Amino acid sequence: MTKKRIYLISSAAIIPVFLLVSGLKLLQGKDDNTHYGPTYNVNRGPLTISFVESGTIKARDQIILKCEVEGRTSITYVIPEGTRVKKDDLLVELDVSSLEDQRIDREIDVQKAEAAFISAKENFAVVQNQAKSDNDRADLKLAFARQDLEKYQKGEYQTELLKANTEITLAEEELSKAEDYLEWSEKLFAEKYIPETELKGDRLTKKKSELNLEIANNNKQLLQEYTYKRQLAQLISDVNQAEIELEITKRKSNASIIQAEAELKAKEAEYGRQKDKLDKVLDQISKTKIYAPADGLVIYAASAKTMSWRSNSEPLDVGREVSEREELIYLPTGEEADAEIMIHESYLKKITPGMPTMITVDALAGKRFYGTIKQIAPLPDSRSMWMNPDLKVYLTKVEMEGVDPMLRSGMSCQAEIVVQQLKEALYVPLQAVIRVGQEPTVFVRNGKTYQPRTVKTGLDNNKVIHIVEGLEDGDIVLLNPPLKSAAVYTKSEQDFGDGFQEKINSGLKKAESMGTTGGSENKPNAEMTQAEKMKKQLENLTPEQIEEMKKKYESMSPEEKENLKKQFSGQGLEEQKAQENQ
């Protein structure tokens, strides 16, 4: 298939679009302000700025009863909804069978832990007494060793030394006496007065005395040089050993006491933990029965909540499973009521606490209630964000005045928040105001044409907008101003400010460098861009304009039609580019 044939097929497929666009181009030759469309006469009058949001009636003073049993459990009894109850009336009873089994197990564990605790307590007392006994024995042994050392140094050694000196003195006296006897015996033996045997006996006595004296001297020398030093060293060693043994005994005793005390604390902690588990199970058993804390009307939480596709809408009933912290029953304690509404984030700048609100309840036709905004949530509603991340709504509470016994929690309502009321004000429909060059602008009739006029606007109520400055009573404005006028404005560097302009310049350079290396894939399609522009222009045309374009196209000459076809199909664009390249 040739390239020319492709162009012909493409142009034939979009001839209807071409007819409309060609007519639009012909109209552009005329005055842009000439427009025949619906208008609005500006009049001064009372203006109320308000908006309406849906909500739910909630009791102002109510007690929320939740399931406090851990995990999931089944309902074995529930009081019928709408019942008037007195304080301490049974409202809900939950299945207790599994908790009773846990209670028995926990009681057994408590008894075991108590026995282990008592055993550890007695063992701690025994270890303390044993440690005291061992320490006392080691102290006594050290005291005795020190006493033995002192006794030997100051008593026994001195006694033994004195005894050795005494023996030496006696031996010397015996030797002197034996020498005297021997001297007389020799004289008497020489005179033949005594026999030789007696002389020999005296000589033997002298020799024996000499030996006794030598032995006494040797004994003293052994005592001083050997026995005393050895015994002193032994006694000093005994003292040192007793001191070391006392230190070891104290450390062992202290370690035994610490270990026994740690074991006692561990057993005590385990005993306390098991008792806490038992108390927790007993507390959970007590929470399986929910009693009314005050007089009131029973309302199921599932009935009062706004249902959604992800919420558990199953009502309370016997056999239904409930989870921990799940709201079960609302128990209003008074007849005052509030309204809870969801405010879209776009309205937050308009409302403040204390603003008046008119509330109508769907179930009470013809009745209206006055209220004031009491509280606006600081964060958007998480449930709405989960269902639609792009939707940001804020929970707002409205305090209602008056008491009506027909009001019930969970009723649907409509809340009209009055933002502003003006007795005399100029206003125009919201669609009559567009922004031209970032300024609110309306097209005001000036003779046979409509000229743009910049105005100063106030608040709007989604229907009309307050005109503070720029219009006069009796002016006529266009209800469908030309949207192309709003597209003329382009921002300059001054509009961004110095802080952002440097970053913008840097980002544009980076994007330009990436675009030059990206090949032909990053280049825009001229034909598609032209078609998209024409499509956007067609969206702003009225049926009268389209009809007028058809008539002008029918009045065109064949040559003009052919030229427009070529331009629309892309041939004219290619010829223009070829001429520029030449």
pLDDT digits (tens, 9 = 90+) for 1-17: 444 444 444 444 444 44
- C-alpha of 416 from chain center: 37
**Which residue, 421, 423, 432, is CA-closest to 42?**
432
Burial group, residue 580, by CB count within 10 angstroms (0-12, 13-18, 19+): exposed
CATH 2.40.50.100 applies to domain 62-94+289-333: yes
Instruction: Please determine, looking at this structure, whether the domain spanning 99-286 carries the CATH number 1.20.120.
Output: no
Summarize the confidence of residues 183-191 as an average pLDDT.
75
Q: Looking at residue 300, what is its pLDDT?
A: 86
Q: Is the pTM of this model over 0.75?
A: no
Q: Within 13 Å and on the Cβ side, how many CA atoms surround 52?
A: 8
User: Mean of the pLDDT values across residues 460-486?
Assistant: 85
pLDDT in tens, 362-398: 888 888 899 999 999 988 888 777 677 778 899 999 9
pLDDT exceeds 90 at position 119: yes
Instruction: Sketch the domain layout of the chain as residue ranges.
Output: 62-94+289-333, 99-286
In this predicted structure, the answer to whether residue 564 has a pLDDT above a threshold of 60 is yes
Pick the closest to residue 95 from 434, 321, 417 (CA basis): 321
Q: Is residue 417 a contact partner of residue 48, using CB atoms and an 8 Å limit?
A: no
Helix, strand, coil shares of the chain as percentages rounded to 5?
A: 55, 25, 25
Identify whether the C-beta of residue 260 lies closer than 8 Å to the C-beta of residue 120.
yes
DSSP 56-84: EEEESSEEEEE--SSSEEEEEEEPPTT-E
Cβ count near 380 (within 10 Å): 18
pLDDT above 60 (res 328): yes
The helix or strand, by DSSP H or E, that contains position 55, with its residue range, turns out to be: strand 44-59
Please choose, from the candidates 413, 130, 69, 110, the residue with its C-alpha nearest in 3D space to the C-alpha of residue 255.
130
